[in-house]
């Protein structure tokens, strides 16, 4: 059966923050650009970001990009690449100002400038005290940002393919990316997008866990496609558990709540963060706070009938301040915790939130593979940005508000790099004859199978395996078992069956295809985590404890390196961390404390 | 864990196999952690995977899961299960063509949204830093920018049902006023010209269904009134 081919200069997969930011660069430069998205762009998960986007504007107090850079390197537990981190922190002011010019409704301070609030791990003067760096639109920053960027794309006449699911990456015999196959959800038709540049901006994959702040759509589609095409996934063992998900519901409560003065309390009404992070307290880095909360609960100081959560208290704040700065949080708390935070504290637990790793890129948004000499080699025609990519700026732990910054800076740089590479208008490279085969075969197999496993069953098995074996604290024996278990679960995923055979808006088929992506992310996570025999950032294991030789269990001698998981053979390779920034001095290795 | 049974009557239509739409009676067990209608729908889908509906964020910010619930438009993820009478009758949003089951074709809705030029227009060379806006000027945008484009309002509006191609509808008009109210925007007169028409703005008969159903508590009728005031002000 012949598959229709649509020809574009560039194809962007994903219409969240990173995809829309790339598309602005491409469309405004006049390139013929297609943006594919499983959902209408403003339904992408960037919409759920709350607290702010980091930029050292210095609107309320002195701030510098170098302080921001220091905080980000420290937050990453030195696993972040310092060239990328310098690039991001330096560009922050420019991309936030761009957003304002697009019309984003930032909150304002009295002199008319953008409002900024404190956030975890963001400090002034190289770690001294919290600084107001998070640029915010109330507690709806992601929503305001995503809509502003969608609107800018409407102005730029970007061509959207809404409710299209990308299926697989297309490479030619020389390893050049020449397009992507995709399915229109309304008709079930498969189409090839033939392009000279393919930009992945497919977001996160938090749905590998049973309890996650992530939307249903966050199924790691870009990671699955990259893995199937032979591209390795970097640093997948590092998952951020956000300290404050609503207990039971998983819905996110922004760290901005603590930025505005919120305090975490245990069953004894104690402000326990004072013991774990005497300086930054409730505004320590997310990994530190999540571990502290988990320890409190484990040691019996949790709240509620089952002592299984702690409380986030803002009752001491002025109600007017809550209504003005945190109106969305109040709404969420009433809706999902049944609590009005003006009157009573919110029950919260650490909840899977953000994937620090992803498709390896350099700071220019170009996807890079591992060369024979251990260096980076560009995968021609392929770019990635946002949560699906690993530039790597977050290293072993991301700071709050750096994700929205990441998607702006690297969305833009991926777009700019594509523009640069396409200059001179070279012809499209030829599509391989089997361009749509992989996608076609995947769909046919799912459609034809009888007596297989349901999508629901397979997804539950993935979520259970990940939740039980790769949580906030990690244990050598559990990781070992987890690897065996997830490889068993993979067999279920290879045996998926759907009852719904319709061509029209077949959500069962979409979810089956998503599950095939989730399993790649789950394997990458579990296998990379089992392999890394140290504690660093969000990856803390029982057999790598805090010792004088290895403070916090971190072992720089052996493990100051990035993991690269390959789907073929579940192999893990390593590459060095780039400790040399672009223009300034290296932020020297140090023990991390807040 | 205590479970309870939810009875549903759901609009079903798959053009690939059904000659015409029908209502399906189906029930599902939910437990005490299932608080919202979307939680029950997720359980229902595990039981019958052929039921099609949109959903994503499950916290009321993405606007995907708008549907007609016991006769009233709302978001499944924000609708309290225990507030609903049984059987819970679920239908697609009214007034738009149905693609399948609870999934409607929103082309007309977005066409109207796009028709108001939903982007900031400012033709001055952009300054090096942010354009300034006082906190009071910024406050004018509250109650406007928070729209999630779920279409609950427009598809509950009789004027939109009758003239979806000519009347912008409450969501689009709310967005139009969001830009008219922004001190940074310079296209005021073009925006008003664009709405100066017997249908585009003036088909609103202040029935206020839009206000009644908005899951974000926004008030498109008030925004429409403000646009009318601006029209009057420039006419005199």
Provide the pLDDT for residue A188.
Answer: 96
What are A237-290's pLDDT values in tens digits?
A: 999 999 999 999 999 999 999 999 999 999 999 999 999 999 999 999 999 999
Nearest to B62 among A47, A106, A114 (CB): A47
Half-sphere exposure of A382 (CA within 13 A, CB side): 28
- Between the alpha carbon of residue A439 and those of residues A165, A167, A442, B200, the distances in Å are 11, 6, 5, 44
State the Cα–Cα distance between residues A429 and A438, nearest whole angstrom: 19
What are A17-33's pLDDT values in tens digits?
A: 999 999 999 999 999 99
Dihedral sign computed on CA atoms, order B99, B102, B107, B109: positive
Q: Is A486 helix (H, G, I), strand (E, B) or coil?
A: helix
B87 preceded by cis ω (within 30°)?
A: yes
DSSP letters, A119-160, are EEEEEETTTTEEEEEEE-STT-HHHHHHHHHHHHHHHTT-EE
Of A228, A167, A218, A177, whose CA–CA distance to A198 is shortest? A177
What are A408-462's pLDDT values in tens digits?
A: 999 999 999 999 999 987 799 999 999 999 999 999 999 999 999 999 999 999 9
What are A176-235's pLDDT values in tens digits?
A: 999 999 999 999 999 999 999 999 999 999 999 999 999 999 999 999 999 999 999 999
For chain A, say whether B68 makes contact (Cβ under 8 Å). Answer: no
For chain B, say whether A154 makes contact (Cβ under 8 Å). Answer: yes
A352, A241 contact by CB (below 8 A): yes
Contact B119 A102 (CB under 8 A): yes
Contact A44 B49 (CB under 8 A): no
Q: Work out the number of other CB atoms within 10 angstroms of the CB of residue B70.
A: 17
Helix B220-235 vs helix B188-195: crossing angle, to nearest 10: 100
Of A208, A200, A207, whose CA–CA distance to A227 is shortest? A200
* pTM for the whole structure: 0.97
Provide the pLDDT for residue B1.
Answer: 63
Residue of chain A minimizing CA distance to B111: A154
Provide the pLDDT for residue B236.
Answer: 82
Provide the pLDDT for residue A8.
Answer: 97
Question: Which residue in B66, B120, B125, B134 has the most chain A C-beta atoms within 10 A of its own C-beta, making it the best mutation to test that interface?
Answer: B120
Please give the structure tokens belonging to residue B104: 């409607």
Question: Which residue in B41, B62, B82 has the most chain A C-beta atoms within 10 A of its own C-beta, making it the best mutation to test that interface?
Answer: B62
Contact B149 A42 (CB under 8 A): yes
What are A116-137's pLDDT values in tens digits?
A: 999 999 999 999 999 999 999 9
Q: A residues 340-359 near B, CB within 8 Å?
A: none
What are B182-235's pLDDT values in tens digits?
A: 999 999 999 999 999 999 999 999 999 999 999 999 999 999 999 999 999 998
For chain A, say whether B100 makes contact (Cβ under 8 Å). Answer: yes
Q: Is B45 helix (H, G, I), strand (E, B) or coil?
A: helix
A286 is catalytic: yes
State what percent of residues in chain B have pLDDT above 90. 97
State the Cα–Cα distance between residues A120 and A400, nearest whole angstrom: 6
Which residues are CB-contacts of A57 (< 8 A; sequence separation ≥ 6)? A63, A93, A96, A113, A114, A116, A133, A135, B129, B130
State the Cα–Cα distance between residues A75 and A277, nearest whole angstrom: 14
Q: Average pLDDT in the A39-58 region?
A: 97
For chain B, say whether A230 makes contact (Cβ under 8 Å). Answer: no
Distance from CA of B130 to the nearest CA of A (A): 5
What are B122-140's pLDDT values in tens digits?
A: 999 999 999 999 999 999 9
DSSP letters, A420-461, are HHHTT-PPPPPPPTTTTHHHHHHHHHHHH--S-B-HHHHHHH
Nearest to B100 among A109, A110, A504 (CB): A504
Cβ neighbours of B128 in A, within 8 Å: 97
State the Cα–Cα distance between residues A21 and A65, nearest whole angstrom: 22
Question: Which residue in A500, A509, A511, A515 has the most chain B C-beta atoms within 10 A of its own C-beta, making it the best mutation to test that interface?
Answer: A500
Contact B62 A332 (CB under 8 A): no
Residue of chain A minimizing CA distance to B114: A154
The count of CB pairs under 8 A between chains A and B is 152
Q: Work out the number of other CB atoms within 10 angstroms of the CB of residue B83.
A: 9
The pLDDT of residue A510 is above 60 = yes
State the Cα–Cα distance between residues A411 and A250, nearest whole angstrom: 28
For chain B, say whether A456 makes contact (Cβ under 8 Å). Answer: yes
Mean pLDDT of chain A: 96
Cβ neighbours of A335 in B, within 8 Å: 59-60, 78
Distance from CA of A199 to the nearest CA of B (A): 23
Provide the pLDDT for residue A426.
Answer: 77
> Does the ipTM exceed 0.90?
yes
Of A99, A116, A120, whose CA–CA distance to A107 is shortest? A116
Q: What is the DSSP letter of B88?
A: E
Provide the pLDDT for residue A425.
Answer: 74
Cβ neighbours of B55 in A, within 8 Å: 216
Which residues are CB-contacts of B107 (< 8 A; sequence separation ≥ 6)? none
- Between the alpha carbon of residue A238 and those of residues A48, A230, A352, A471, A524, the distances in Å are 21, 21, 11, 10, 11
Contact A215 B58 (CB under 8 A): yes
The pLDDT of residue A478 is above 60 = yes
The pLDDT of residue A1 is above 60 = no
The pLDDT of residue B117 is above 80 = yes
- Position of tokens 């509808």? B169
What are B165-177's pLDDT values in tens digits?
A: 999 999 999 999 9
Q: A372 pLDDT band (50/70/90 cuts)?
A: confident
What are A525-548's pLDDT values in tens digits?
A: 999 999 999 999 999 999 999 999
Contact A500 B50 (CB under 8 A): yes
Q: What is the DSSP letter of A333?
A: I
């Amino acid at each position: 059966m012949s598959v229709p081919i649509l020809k574009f200069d560039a194809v962007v997969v994903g219409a969240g923050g990173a995809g829309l930011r790339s598309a602005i660069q491409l469309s405004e430069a006049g390139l013929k650009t297609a943006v594919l998205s499983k959902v209408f762009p403003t339904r992408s998960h960037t919409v759920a970001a709350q607290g702010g986007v980091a930029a050292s504007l210095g609107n309320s107090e002195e701030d510098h990009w170098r302080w921001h850079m220091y905080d980000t390197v420290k937050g990453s537990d030195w696993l972040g690449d310092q060239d990328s981190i310098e690039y991001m922190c330096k560009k922050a002011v420019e991309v936030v100002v761009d957003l304002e010019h697009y019309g984003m409704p930032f909150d304002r301070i009295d002199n008319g400038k953008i409002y900024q609030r404190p956030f975890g791990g963001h400090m002034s003067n190289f770690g001294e005290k919290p600084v107001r760096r998070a640029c915010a639109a109330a507690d709806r920053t992601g929503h305001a940002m995503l809509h502003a960027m969608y609107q800018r794309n409407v102005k730029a006449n970007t061509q959207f393919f809404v409710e299209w699911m990308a299926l697989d990456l297309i490479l030619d015999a020389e390893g050049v990316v020449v397009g992507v196959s995709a399915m229109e959800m309304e008709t079930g038709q498969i189409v090839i997008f033939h392009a000279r540049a393919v930009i992945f901006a497919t977001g996160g994959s938090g749905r590998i866990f049973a309890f996650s702040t992530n939307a249903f759509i966050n199924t790691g589609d870009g990671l699955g496609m990259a893995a199937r095409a032979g591209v390795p996934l970097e640093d997948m063992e590092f998952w951020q558990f956000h300290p404050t998900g609503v207990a039971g519901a998983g819905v996110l409560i922004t760290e901005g709540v603590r930025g505005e003065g919120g305090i975490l309390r245990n069953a004894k009404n104690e402000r326990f963060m004072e013991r774990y992070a005497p300086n930054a307290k409730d505004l320590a880095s997310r990994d530190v706070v999540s571990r502290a909360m988990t320890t409190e609960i484990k040691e019996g100081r949790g709240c509620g009938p089952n002592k299984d959560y702690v409380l986030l208290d803002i009752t001491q704040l002025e109600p007017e301040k809550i209504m003005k700065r945190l109106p969305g949080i109040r709404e969420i708390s009433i809706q999902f915790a049944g609590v009005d935070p003006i009157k009573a504290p919110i029950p919260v637990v650490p909840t899977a939130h953000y994937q620090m790793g992803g498709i390896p890129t350099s700071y220019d948004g170009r996807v890079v593979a591992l060369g024979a000499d251990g260096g980076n080699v560009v995968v021609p025609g392929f770019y990635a940005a946002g949560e699906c990519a690993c530039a790597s700026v977050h290293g072993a732990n991301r700071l709050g508000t750096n994700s929205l910054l990441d998607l702006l800076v690297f969305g833009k740089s991926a777009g700019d790099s594509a523009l640069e590479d396409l200059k001179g208008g070279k012809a499209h490279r030829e599509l391989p004859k089997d361009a749509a085969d992989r996608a076609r075969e995947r769909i046919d197999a799912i459609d034809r199978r009888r007596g297989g496993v349901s999508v629901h069953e397979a997804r539950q098995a993935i979520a259970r395996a990940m939740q039980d074996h790769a949580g906030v604290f990690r244990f050598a024996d559990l990781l070992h078992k987890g690897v065996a278990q997830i490889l068993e679960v993979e067999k279920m995923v290879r045996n998926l069956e759907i009852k719904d055979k319709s061509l029209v808006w077949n959500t069962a088929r979409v979810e089956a295809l998503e599950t095939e992506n989730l399993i790649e992310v789950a394997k990458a996570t579990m296998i990379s985590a089992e392999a890394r025999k140290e504690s660093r950032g969000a990856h803390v294991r029982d057999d790598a404890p805090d010792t004088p030789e290895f403070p916090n269990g971190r072992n720089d001698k052996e493990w100051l390196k990035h993991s690269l998981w390959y789907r073929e053979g579940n192999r893990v390779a390593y590459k060095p961390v780039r400790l040399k920034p672009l223009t300034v001095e290296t932020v020297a290795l140090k023990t991390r404390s807040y | 864990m205590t479970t309870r049974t939810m009875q549903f009557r759901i609009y079903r239509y798959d053009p690939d196999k059904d000659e015409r739409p029908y209502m399906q009676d189906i029930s599902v067990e939910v437990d005490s952690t299932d608080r919202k209608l979307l939680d029950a729908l997720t359980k229902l889908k595990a039981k019958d995977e052929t039921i099609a509906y949109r959903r994503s964020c499950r916290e009321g910010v993405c606007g995907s899961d708008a549907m007609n619930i016991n006769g009233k438009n709302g978001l499944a993820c924000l609708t309290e299960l225990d507030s609903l009478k049984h059987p819970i009758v679920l239908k697609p949003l009214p007034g738009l063509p149905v693609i399948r089951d609870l999934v409607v074709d929103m082309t007309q809705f977005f066409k109207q949204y796009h028709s108001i030029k939903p982007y900031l227009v400012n033709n001055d060379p952009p300054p090096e830093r942010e354009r300034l806006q006082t906190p009071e000027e910024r406050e004018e945008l509250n109650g406007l920018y928070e729209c999630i484009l779920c279409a609950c309002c427009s598809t509950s509006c009789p004027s939109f049902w009758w003239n979806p191609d000519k009347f912008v509808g409450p969501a689009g008009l709310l967005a139009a006023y969001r830009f008219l109210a922004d001190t940074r925007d310079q296209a005021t007169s073009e925006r008003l010209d664009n709405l100066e028409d017997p249908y585009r703005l003036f088909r609103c008969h202040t029935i206020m269904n839009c206000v009644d159903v908005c899951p974000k508590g926004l008030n498109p009728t008030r925004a429409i009134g403000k646009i009318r005031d601006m029209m009057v002000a420039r006419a005199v």
